[in-house]
């Protein structure tokens, strides 16, 4: 065998080896339920307050189970489907948050036969529906965020040619405002503080990409920033820190649903340096960004040609060639990610058929099997003082109900810790990384 032949065989061997390593990062699919090709949206959230993220799913064209959930029973086992909403058709998207401050995560949905925005209020897994609004649209999206910094969760909704905000008074009573901007077909929205002024801004995707600046709680169309972003029919937009410099960059599909790209934020909310990551990816209607390889930067998984591909970030926003994760005989139409077993690693959830895959990153340890009940937080609910009893030293991160970081890298000592932190009344998630490697998640209610 001559040298060129050896080089060819070596290249093939190396390619297969790297592919097998990438695939080995995730377990084989664990089937939750078959025949779920109608699922169009997946949202992980802890609906029953047991510290495990459950799976909420929408089926846009199903009369029997427009919105349903599967309770996480631990060890990647999920209970049977439980239906929240039925109806004619076309619930397009949902988001979650505790709107009435009762300690249980509620659901807000957009889209049905009546083009409605509907609240599904949760009281110990008993849901009651109330229509909040309706307006004309074909495609739509919805998100939950504290826009006016009054410590309760508001709602942002887009659909057709309309952008609306629903301001919460803290008791799930809402005041509606229509936000003026260019007339366009809205398909997607993303929320983030692009200029570090303490207020969450909104970027929409659709016939073009538009920036809506948050001015002390009120969204205003920002033509200057919008014109910095080339866009023509962009159905997938996300604000995330791609290059690890502490600000929110813009990740999106490229024009006309061909390719995936990102633009760098200069820290003041201006976007530039557009970089095409993969020009061959088409019809990216679903994707998820997390640190999948546990190396401190954001990677992403998208559906490409109806299969799942992982793109790994080098930390500076440069991505290698896509790694195939899953090639299913069924067409994968939606993907999401979340830490489903509280080991600190983002697992993946997709359909069809509704399945999960455990993240077995080689960078993680096996010590996470420490019993989470050894970590005690009390009183819970609490009005003021929060005590954390821990079996070993660690570091604590505190997130609010929307997933925003409130406290970062708080030192925790073995034994009883009187946490000297100020928390406004709402739900929080305490992520405690112990000295030996495990990450313990606890839900804390401040009244």
- Alpha carbons 272 and 68: distance in angstroms, whole number: 40
Looking at per-residue pLDDT, the higher value among 92 and 148 belongs to 148
CATH of domain 376-446: 2.60.40
Domain boundaries, the chain: 30-357, 376-446
d(CA 138, CA 161): 10
Give the three-class secondary structure for 139: coil
CATH superfamily, domain at 30-357: YVTN repeat-like/Quinoprotein amine dehydrogenase (2.130.10.10)
Q: How many CB atoms lie within 10 A of CB 95?
A: 24
Quote the DSSP letter at residue 296: S
Lowest mean pLDDT among 204-208, 336-340, 389-393: 389-393
Identical fold for domains 30-357 and 376-446, yes or no, is no
pLDDT digits (tens, 9 = 90+) for 228-243: 999 888 888 999 999 9
Q: Which pLDDT tens digit goes with each residue over 271-281?
A: 999 999 999 88
CB contact burial 355-386 (16+ within 10 A = b; e otherwise): bbbbbebeebeeebebebeebebeeeebeeeb
Tokens 């159905």: give the residue. 235
Question: How high is the pLDDT of residue 12?
Answer: 42
Say whether pTM exceeds 0.85.
no
Q: Using one digit for the tens of pLDDT, what is the confidence trace for 276-331?
A: 999 988 877 789 999 998 888 899 999 988 899 999 999 899 998 999 998 878 78
Mean pLDDT of 254-265: 90
Tell which wins on pLDDT, 394 or 144. 144
Residue 17 pLDDT class (50, 70, 90 cuts): very low
What are the distances in angstroms from CA 278 to CA 193, 205, 257, 320?
27, 19, 12, 10
């Amino acid at each position: 065998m001559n040298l060129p032949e050896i080089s060819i065989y070596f290249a093939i061997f190396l390619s297969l080896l790297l592919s097998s390593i990438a695939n080995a990062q995730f377990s084989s699919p664990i089937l939750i339920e078959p025949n779920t090709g109608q699922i169009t949206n997946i949202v992980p959230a802890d609906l029953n307050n047991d510290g495990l993220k459950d799976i909420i799913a929408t089926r846009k064209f199903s009369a029997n189970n427009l919105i349903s959930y599967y309770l996480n029973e631990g060890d990647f086992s999920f209970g049977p489907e439980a239906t929240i909403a039925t109806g004619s058709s076309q619930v397009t998207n949902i988001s979650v948050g505790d709107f009435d401050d009762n300690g249980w995560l509620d659901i807000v949905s957009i889209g049905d036969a009546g083009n409605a925005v509907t609240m599904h209020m949760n009281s110990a897994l008993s849901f009651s529906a109330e229509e909040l609004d309706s307006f004309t649209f074909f495609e739509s999206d919805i998100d939950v965020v504290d826009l006016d910094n009054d410590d309760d969760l508001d709602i942002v909704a887009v659909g057709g040619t309309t952008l609306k905000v629903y301001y919460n008074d803290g008791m799930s009573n809402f005041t509606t405002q229509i936000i003026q901007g260019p007339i366009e077909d809205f398909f997607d929205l993303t929320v983030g503080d692009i200029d570090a002024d303490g207020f969450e801004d909104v970027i929409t995707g659709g016939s073009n990409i538009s920036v809506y600046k948050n001015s002390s709680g009120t969204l205003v169309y920002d033509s200057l920033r919008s014109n910095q972003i080339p866009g023509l029919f962009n159905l997938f937009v996300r604000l995330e820190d791609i290059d690890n410099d502490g600000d929110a960059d813009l990740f999106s599909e490229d024009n006309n649903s061909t390719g995936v790209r990102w633009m760098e934020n200069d820290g003041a909310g201006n976007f530039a340096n557009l970089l095409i990551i993969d020009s061959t990816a088409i019809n990216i209607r679903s994707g998820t960004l997390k640190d999948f390889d546990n190396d401190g930067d954001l990677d992403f998984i998208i559906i490409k040609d109806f299969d799942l591909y992982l793109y790994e970030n080098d930390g500076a926003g440069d991505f290698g060639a896509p790694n195939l994760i899953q090639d299913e005989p069924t067409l994968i139409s939606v993907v999401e990610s979340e830490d489903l077993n509280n080991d600190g690693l983002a697992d993946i959830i997709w359909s069809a058929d509704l399945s999960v895959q455990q993240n077995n990153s080689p960078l993680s340890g096996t010590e996470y099997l420490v019993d989470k009940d050894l970590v005690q937080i009390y009183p819970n609910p609490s009005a003021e003082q929060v005590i954390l009893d821990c079996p070993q030293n660690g570091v604590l991160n505190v997130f609010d109900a929307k997933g925003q970081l409130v406290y970062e890298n708080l030192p925790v000592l073995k034994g009883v810790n009187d946490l000297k932190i100020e928390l406004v009344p709402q739900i929080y998630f305490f992520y405690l990384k112990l000295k030996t490697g495990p990450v313990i998640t606890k839900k804390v209610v401040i009244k």
